[in-house]
Structure 1
Amino acid sequence: MQYCPKCASERIVKNGRHLNRQRFRCKDCGFQFTRDTPRGRPATEKAMAILLYTLGLSLNAIARIYGVATSTVMRWVRNFAEKTYEKPSPREAVIIEPDEMWHYLHSKKTNYGSGKLIVAIPVSSLTGNVAIVTSQVETTTYQ
C-alpha cells in the first residue's frame, strides 16, 4: 500500500503520468507525487564509503566500487565532516606556504624556549605538499 509522503495518508489516487511514470495525488492534503521509492544511496553505504576514505582509500577508488561520481563521494565525506567536527578557529591553527615559514618563524618574539609548536602534515604524497600547523605553547608554573 502506498502512502502520501507529506501527510502519510492512505487515501491516494492515480493522477495521470509524467515522463512515463505514474503520478499520484493525496485526497486528504492534495499533494501530488510520482516517486514511490526513496532517492539516493542508503546511509549504510555512505557510512562504509566514509570509513573506506578514512582508512586511506582514494575517492576515485571508492567511486568505482559504488558506481557513483567522485564528486558524490567527496560530498558524502564533506557532509559527514561538517556534521561531526567543528571547524578550528583561526587562533588555533595557521596554515602558511613553506616559503613563508622562514619569515613567520623569525617574527616570533622570543629567541629561547620552544616558543611555537610546529606540526607538518603531509597533504598529498604525490605532489609533496605539506600543511604546516602552528600553535602557541602554553607554559604552566608548578609550585
Structure 2
Amino acid sequence: MVYTQHFCAKCASEQIRRNGHSGGRAKYQCKACGHQGYFQPAAVEKARQYAQVDQLLLERNSLRSIARATGVARNTIAKRVKKSGGFGPAPAAPSPEKGPTEAVGGLGAR
C-alpha cells in the first residue's frame, strides 16, 4: 500500500484530516491552524485537460465537441489553436516544376 503524507500549505503541519469533498475532489483541513484546501493542485488537472484538448484537436474534432467532452471553454480552445498556429498537418511546399532533363556526359534518359 502506498501512503502519501500531506502537509499543510500554511503551517507545514502533518496534522491533516479529510474534510468532505467538492467537485469530485477531496478537501482536507489542518487541525493545527484550521486551514482548509485541496491537496491535488489544480494545475495538474488543467494540464491533463489541455493534453486531452490537444489530442482531440489533432483528431480534427470541432471546438464545440471538444468543449463538451473536456469542460474547457470554447474561447480557451480557440486561443490554444491560435497560439500554436493550428494543429493540422503543415501544407506541403509546392515543388518547382520539372522541365526536360539534359543528358550530361552521354548519360541520360533514352
Please confirm whether the aligned pair reaches a TM-score higher than 0.5, indicating the same fold. no
TM-score, normalised relative to structure 2: 0.39
> Highest Rg: 1 or 2?
2
TM-score normalised by the chain length of structure 1 = 0.33
